[in-house]
Chains A and B, each alone.
Chain A
Amino acid sequence: MNMNPPLLELHNISYSYPGQKNPLLKEINFHVHKEQIGIIGPNGSGKTTLFQIIMGLLKADDGQIVLQGTEIKTEKDFFMLRRKLGFLFQDSDDQLFSPTVLEDIAFGPLNHGATPQEARDISIRTLEKLGLKGFEDRITHRLSGGEKKLVALATILSMEPEMLLLDEPSNNLDPATRERLIKILREQKLAHIIISHDLDFLASTCNQLYTMQDGQLIRCEEKQIHNHEHIHPYGNQPHLHGI
């Protein structure tokens, strides 16, 4: 037996939408130990679908999902998997469904057997960790877009996951909240997979980059020499991009 199996393995995952001839995902093989991975790819290339398959929201036509060496098959297996992998939706309004922030963050822990007191404590701790102290009794629909994103992240972190799946987390965020999210993700030191079109965001939060092309995940080389055009001043001098 392998002493230290990867956190998550995908074996030959294929998927096509019903009624469509060309498969969206073609025999994807992929594994994560503790890496922080970014995935870029055009719209409609199947990135979100891949996340939904990993979380058991969609069923792959073929292939296996293996979590820490155990194959995930039944709904009961997925119940366990969903506790270990936290999925942050693209639209926070879909994720925040309770009237108040505290209730929303406590929802996961309560479902996984925490007592109300434990759930309350862990929720308040999570809020403090994200710099959202005092948000407990705020009404979720009255939060700003950036606050919603951070609270949505808190609802997932309160379940103490071992890996995060983030679907375009930096979309529609103002620069300050975006920076805050980058800082939080760096401090978490959790394994994560981030889907994004925001290359700078990926560069600041990930150490591996994949592209999604023709239903395949392709690993990008770490550094590539390339030419590009500049619209900022001093583009002819050596410089760093992003942070």
Chain B
Amino acid sequence: MIDESFSMGSTLFHKRDPKVKLIGAAAISIVLALCSSIVVAGIGVIVTAILLFLSKPAPCLLFKRFLQVNVFNLFIWITLPLTYGGGETMQFSFLNLSLDGIRMAALISLKSNGILFCFLALLATSSTANLGHGMEKLGVPRKLTFLLLFSYRQLFVIHREYQRLQRAAKLRGFTPKNSLHTYRTYSYLFGMTLVRSWNRGERVHQAMILRGFTGNLIPLDQPQPGKADYFFLFTMLFISLLLAGLSLMPLTL
């Protein structure tokens, strides 16, 4: 389950206002996502890796996240060099590898890791609740922030409900096998979880109405960003502008 382990800490990243972190992360990741040069993506990875290093994440957790993203990249490295058509090729034992394919795979890996590092350093260092309120303050549509905050809160409840059903099945001797009975049981479990979540959703809505909810979520006062936050924002925007400027230069790779 989500335990938000990255958000526990006290580095300068953890202390920053979620609003400036959201803007910074958006700026850097947009530039990284749109750049088409390996050099720029490479510099991006180095810069975001430094940011990540400064936010002092727990090494083993970091490695786990890193692995999760790079399993996908591995598939890209397996498929793209063999399937990317046109251009020069390179002989590797009996295989003809497309150079463009290799270049594309490298670009995708660099970009995805750069964005991963940036999100881990900037967004994962805030709790989901704070990010939700930050989003609302930044003018993100209310429905989206509701959706984020409520899914965050209810995910745990739904997960626990699912576990409870699963345990009940296990206690009555259910062992998953590749059989119709297993598939049917799982579909019942999912179905029941869905129905229960729906009922719970209704009860939560009732609880909100009982406390005077009329459609507006009024936030408690959030701390205002201070000087350090503005300096942080300036640095992040400077980094993204620098990367954007670099990607406009005529680079060969």
Contacts and interface: CB of A to CB of B under 8 A. Distances in A.
Interface of A: 55, 57, 79, 82-83, 87, 89, 91, 93-95, 97-100, 102-103, 106-108, 110-112, 116-117, 119-120, 139-141, 155-156, 159
A60 B214 CA distance: 22
B214 A110 contact: no
9 closest A-B pairs by CB = A99-B129, A111-B212, A108-B211, A94-B203, A110-B218, A116-B221, A141-B156, A95-B207, A112-B212
A97 B150 contact: yes
DSSP majority for the A interface?
helix
Contacts of A91: 203
A235 to B, nearest CB: 37
Given A103-B220, A120-B221, A93 B152 contact: no
A120 B204 CA distance: 22
Contacts of B89: none
A82 B209 contact: yes
A107 B149 CA distance: 14
B132 interface: yes
Nearest to A55: B210
Nearest to B157: A93
Given A99-B128, A110-B220, A141-B157, 14 more contacts: A91-B203, A93-B200, A94-B200, A95-B204, A97-B153, A99-B129, A99-B149, A103-B129, A108-B212, A116-B218, A116-B219, A116-B221, A119-B220, A139-B127
Given A55-B210, A82-B210, A141-B157, A102 B149 contact: no
9 contacts: A79-B212, A93-B157, A97-B207, A98-B149, A99-B127, A99-B132, A110-B218, A111-B212, A140-B153
Contacts of A89: 203, 207
B195 interface: no
Interface string B65-101: 0000000000000000000000000000000000000
Contacts of B163: none
B177 to A, nearest CB: 33
Contacts of B132: 99
Interface string B141-184: 00000000110111011000000000000000000000000000
A107 B211 contact: yes
Band of interface residues on B: 20 to 34
A231 to B, nearest CB: 29
Scoring B210, B212, B220 by chain A CB atoms within 10 A of each residue's CB, the highest score goes to B210
B142 to A, nearest CB: 15
B157 A100 contact: no
B24 to A, nearest CB: 22
B204 A97 contact: yes
B40 to A, nearest CB: 37
Contacts of B212: 79, 82-83, 108, 111-112, 159
B207 A102 contact: no
A95 B205 CA distance: 9
A107 B208 CA distance: 8
B234 to A, nearest CB: 28
B5 interface: no
B153 A141 contact: yes
Contacts of A87: 210
Given A82-B209, A97-B207, A155-B211, A102 B220 contact: yes
A89 B210 CA distance: 11
Most chain B Cβ neighbours within 10 Å, of A97, A98, A112, A155: A97
